[in-house]
Amino acid sequence: MSHETDRRSTGDVGPGFMDAAEVTIREGIARYVIGFVLACLLTAASFYVLDSSLIWGPGIPVALIVLAIAQMGVHLVFFLHINTAPDNTNNVLALAFGVLIVALVIGGSLWIMDHLNENMMPMHQMMQMQR
């Protein structure tokens, strides 16, 4: 009975697993090398964009955030092995929920605090009213 449930397909992996896919040592190392090279390129691009005139000045923060999100994707796929394999569905769904919460917390905070700053009376005026 148990030997039946242990027969998993090649894509049947949880996060961080490689044994189920019967990955050879060479393939396993190759996967990490690809991820490492991609991560290095994206990191170098982030540091390069910072000081170059390649991108329009006010657009640099946006470019940096896009590069960071791309690098996080590389880390998730090549280092944490979050992929589209059937038994990875649970992990991907958990990740999607995590991303939703993170986006709400960060995006919501920035949005609300930005509006508060705009709508608040400047500090020196408030001081004068308190006199």
Partner 1 sequence: MSATDTPFERSSDPYRIGHGRDWVSAGGGRGYVYATGHGEGGPASKRVIVGYGFWIFLLSDIVMFSAFFAAHAVLQTATAGGPSGHELFNLWSIVAQTAFLLISSFTCGLSAVATEARNHLWTQVALLVTGLFGLAFLVLEGRDFANMVMQGAGPDRSAFLSSLFAVVGLHGLHVSAGLLWLGTMMAQVFVKGFRPDILRRLVCFNLFWHALDIIWVALFTVVYLIGLGR
At which residue do the structure tokens 């999100």 appear?
Answer: 69
Backbone angles phi, psi at 126, to 5 degrees: -65, -40
Of the pair 17, 83, the CB lying nearest partner 1 is at 17
Of the pair 86, 121, the CB lying nearest partner 1 is at 86
Least CB distance to partner 1 at residue 128 (A)? 21
> Residues in the site for partner 1, rule: CB under 8 A?
1, 4-9, 12, 14-19, 23, 25, 28-29, 31-32, 35-36, 39-40, 43, 46-47, 50, 60-61, 64-65, 67-68, 71-72, 75-76, 79-80, 86-87, 89-91, 94-95, 97-98, 101-102, 105-106, 108-110, 113
Least CB distance to partner 1 at residue 32 (A)? 4
Of the pair 68, 120, the CB lying nearest partner 1 is at 68
CA atoms within 13 A on the CB side of 67: 19
DSSP 131: -
Measure Cα distances from 112 to 26, 106, 119 in Å. Answer: 50, 10, 11
Transcribe 24-43 into DSSP letters.
-HHHHHHHHHHHHHHHHHHH
Of the pair 43, 125, the CB lying nearest partner 1 is at 43
- Residue 81 and residue 16 in contact, taking contact as beta carbons nearer than 8 Å: yes
